[in-house]
Amino acid sequence: MALSNTNAHYGGITKTFHWLTALLIVTLIPLGIYANDLPYETSEQLAQKAWLFSLHKTLGVTVFFVALARILWALSQPKPALLHPDRKLESLAAETVHWLLYGSLLLVPLSGWVHHAATSGFAPIWWPFGQNLPLVPKSDTIAATTAGLHIVFERVLAGSVLLHIAGALKHHVIDKDSTLRRMLPGTPAINIPTRAGAHRVAAPIGAALVIWVAALGTGAALGVYGSHDTAVQAAALADVNSDWTVQDGTLEITVTQLGTPVTGSFADWTAAISFDETVTQGVAGQVDVVVSIGSLTLGSVTSEALGTEYLDATGTPTATFNADILRDAAGYTAVGTLTLKDQTQPATLTFDLNITDGVAQMQGALSLDRLAYGVGASQQDEGSLGFNVDVTVALTAQRAAP
């Protein structure tokens, strides 16, 4: 069997690409559906779900490169002649399906890959080249859009595969011609029509584009390009009286999931601060912080993090940190308690502080044990979800006018 195509037969390389791609597709689609439906309430369930999704993503990236190589090879090869050039409509349908397959084999894994790169957390791709993509920022909007595109393109791919299989079986069982046999090992005898019709390009590509546009429009009508996370109503926080008014700042947490750090932030929090910068030893002030738990974004696991098993944003909508501000020769600490999920534990925040012309710049950090607050109590395996949670805060505050 020759490696290259001829006017009558597909070569060995084309056949290898064809069947390798087919094997990957029939593995990937049910694997993704199965993994998506698995529960993740325990460490073992989460580990299994993540492992299967990592396998799905890794095979998806493999499909992208295999499909790209397959298309480049196909463009460099002669395409075997049509066996029924007189069947114009049937030939147009078959070639349209081929272009749908080629395009979908690139668009499905690419949309999934961009979605992965735009999110933080959960299942990594198993390869040494990192989890990000150039020009793809971490973005909830991009993640939601590409997740929807992935679904739409996958449906087009699945439909194209079914039509492709149906056409092959029709040729083999009803027409009893060599359409299917010439994609199998060997070189079967094939009767090429004397007036073999040329393969059309423009019309099938145009028809495929129309189908993709219709599919994208249907996806938009169904709302698949938006976030599907269950919305949690973030607690509205009251204004606070403070000797120092926070002008801007960030409050972030970093958790370790399956060995990978995942960082998120709270969009809404308040701080009532009293502080005397002239104190050089002992208690220099007090801080009372209230955090709206529902304002957290934590990459691809935001909705899970806000659920009852974890931060329980509905049942306990706020967390509070109440502490004395202490100063000594080593610097500043805020020593007090953190109340989260109705659990109050000692907490110490170490921070740096610089005050210039009544404007304070502060950066601090503390570490928490999530199990001490009953967060993810069923996740007892640190390999799935780390026990330690790093909290960092940075803010700019203006001294209130006397």
Residue 231 is predicted with a pLDDT of 56
Domains 12-222 and 244-399 share a fold: no
- Residues 220-275: tens digit of each pLDDT: 999 999 876 555 778 889 989 999 999 999 999 999 988 888 899 999 999 999 99
Residue 385 is predicted with a pLDDT of 87
In angstroms, rounded to a whole number, what is the distance separating the alpha carbons of residues 50 and 28?
Answer: 15
- In sequence order, what are the residues at sequence separation of 6 or more whose Cβ sits closer than 8 angstroms to the Cβ of residue 395? 246, 247, 248, 249, 250, 271, 360, 361, 362
- Residues 86-108: tens digit of each pLDDT: 888 998 999 999 999 999 999 99
Rounded to an integer, the average pLDDT of 112-123 is 89
In angstroms, rounded to a whole number, what is the distance separating the alpha carbons of residues 51 and 45?
Answer: 10
**288: confidence class by pLDDT, cuts 50, 70, 90:** very high
Cα distances (Å, whole numbers) of residue 356 to 271, 277, 396, 400: 20, 11, 11, 14
In this predicted model, which residue has the larger pLDDT, 175 or 325? 325
Q: How many Cα neighbours within 13 Å face the side chain of 93?
A: 10
- Residues 302-318: tens digit of each pLDDT: 888 898 889 999 999 99
Three-state DSSP class for 151? helix
Residue 83 is predicted with a pLDDT of 82
**140: confidence class by pLDDT, cuts 50, 70, 90:** confident
Residue 24 is predicted with a pLDDT of 96
> Which of 29, 35, 27 lies closest to 54 in space, CA to CA?
35
- Residues 367-378: tens digit of each pLDDT: 999 999 999 988
**123: confidence class by pLDDT, cuts 50, 70, 90:** confident
Rounded to an integer, the average pLDDT of 206-215 is 96
Domain ranges of the chain: 12-222, 244-399
The DSSP bridge partners found for residue 394 are 250, 363
Q: How many Cα neighbours within 13 Å face the side chain of 80?
A: 21
The DSSP bridge partners found for residue 324 are 286, 335
Out of 2.40.128.110, 2.60.40.1080, 1.10.730.10, 3.40.50.150, the CATH code matching 244-399 is 2.40.128.110
Report the CATH architecture of 12-222. Answer: Up-down Bundle (1.20)
Three-state DSSP class for 64? helix
Between CA 131 and CA 28, with CA 126 as vertex, the angle to 5 degrees is 105
Residue 294 is predicted with a pLDDT of 94
In angstroms, rounded to a whole number, what is the distance separating the alpha carbons of residues 348 and 336?
Answer: 6
- Residues 55-81: tens digit of each pLDDT: 999 999 999 999 999 999 999 998 888
**Whole-prediction pTM value?**
0.80
Q: Identify whether the C-beta of residue 309 lies closer than 8 Å to the C-beta of residue 377.
A: yes
Mean model confidence pLDDT for the chain: 91
- Residues 175-209: tens digit of each pLDDT: 888 888 889 888 877 777 655 556 678 999 999 99
Residue 384 is predicted with a pLDDT of 81
